């Protein structure tokens, strides 16, 4: 069995501000396979076809089709890497994971906590997935890094659900204690500073550097069962630099998932 399955979810119907992330999966693959970079992650593992099964891209007509698509891939693979899509896709993906894994910890990198009870009347908006995930008890532990937009409501939600929020204002990556359960990493590209990642819908200056995100991925010791890269918006990109950043981070995440 191939060690990691890749799925692209071309879905941005839950974006609140701009559309675009539905176009992202093929463009990130294209950057990865453009010949601009080799396929070795920094840990020395090569992301080659003997280890990876790429199922291609899927257009979800209905939001909860994303759960069905993911569940189908989990029938034949223990580890799934997803290219999004807007951040709303992480909730149905994790609903599918929950049926396979009784305990999951989540490392969530983002400018935003995405903890709104509802946003513009939609409880499944891309501003809400981690409220839904915590409500359903899917995560034993949710650690958020890069946050710099907390309002009163989301602060209350974080307390209510016991979320560990590492804001940019007080960031010290060594304060994040080791995870105890199988780990899912959800990477919203707007967690990085827009200087590194201009191709996102919500520019929020004061964010993480590429190196900080790579170090955070590489420092994880627990098995990573799943990961996603979401919110790449090619309509806002500059010289494909965000596509190439996403491809690099994809390579590092896959390299880490394939360790051991």
Q: Which residues sit at the interface with Mn ion, rule CB under 5 A?
A: 87, 110-112, 114, 188, 190
Minimal distance, residue 50 CB to Mn ion, in Å = 33
- Our CA dihedral for 65, 69, 71, 73, rounded to 10 degrees, sits at 180
CA 160 to CA 199: how far, in whole Å? 32
Residue in the block written with tokens 């307390």 = 159
Minimal distance, residue 125 CB to Mn ion, in Å = 10
Minimal distance, residue 139 CB to Mn ion, in Å = 15
Residue 139, C-beta contacts closer than 8 angstroms, at least 6 positions apart:
94, 104, 105, 106, 133, 184
Residue with Cβ nearer Mn ion (41 or 93): 93
| Residue 185: both structure tokens together | 């990493």
Residue with Cβ nearer Mn ion (14 or 87): 87
Residue in the block written with tokens 């890749």 = 6
Residue with Cβ nearer Mn ion (89 or 183): 89
> Helix axis angle, 65-76 relative to 90-98, nearest 10°?
40
Minimal distance, residue 201 CB to Mn ion, in Å = 8
Residue with Cβ nearer Mn ion (15 or 220): 15
Residue with Cβ nearer Mn ion (8 or 21): 21
Minimal distance, residue 76 CB to Mn ion, in Å = 29
Are the beta carbons of 29 and 244 closer than 8 angstroms?
no
Minimal distance, residue 110 CB to Mn ion, in Å = 4
Are the beta carbons of 106 and 78 closer than 8 angstroms?
no
Residue with Cβ nearer Mn ion (45 or 189): 189
Are the beta carbons of 81 and 217 closer than 8 angstroms?
no
Burial class of 22 by CB neighbour count within 10 A (0 to 12, 13 to 18, 19+):
buried
């Amino acid at each position: 069995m191939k060690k990691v399955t890749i799925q692209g979810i071309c879905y941005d119907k839950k974006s609140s501000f701009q559309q675009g992330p539905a176009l992202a999966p093929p463009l990130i693959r294209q950057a990865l396979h453009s010949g601009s970079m080799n396929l070795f992650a920094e840990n020395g593992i090569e992301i080659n076809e003997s280890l990876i099964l790429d199922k291609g891209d899927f257009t979800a007509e209905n939001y909860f089709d994303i759960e069905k698509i993911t569940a189908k891939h989990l029938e034949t693979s223990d580890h799934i890497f997803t290219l999004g899509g807007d951040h709303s896709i992480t909730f149905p993906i994790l609903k599918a994971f929950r049926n396979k894994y009784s305990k999951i910890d989540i490392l969530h990198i983002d400018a935003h906590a995405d903890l709104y009870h509802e946003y513009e009347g939609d409880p499944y908006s891309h501003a809400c997935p981690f409220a839904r995930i915590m409500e359903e008890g899917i995560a034993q532990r949710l650690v958020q890094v890069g946050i710099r937009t907390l309002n009163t409501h989301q602060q209350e939600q974080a307390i209510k659900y016991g979320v560990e929020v590492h804001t940019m204002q007080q960031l010290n990556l060594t304060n994040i204690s080791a995870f105890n359960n199988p780990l899912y990493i959800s990477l919203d590209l707007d967690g990085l500073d827009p200087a590194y990642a201009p191709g996102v819908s919500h520019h929020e200056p004061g964010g993480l550097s590429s190196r900080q995100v790579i170090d955070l991925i590489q420092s994880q010791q627990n098995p990573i069962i799943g990961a996603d890269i979401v919110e790449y918006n090619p309509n806002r990109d500059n010289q494909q630099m965000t596509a190439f950043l996403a491809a690099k981070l994809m390579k590092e995440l896959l390299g880490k998932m394939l360790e051991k």
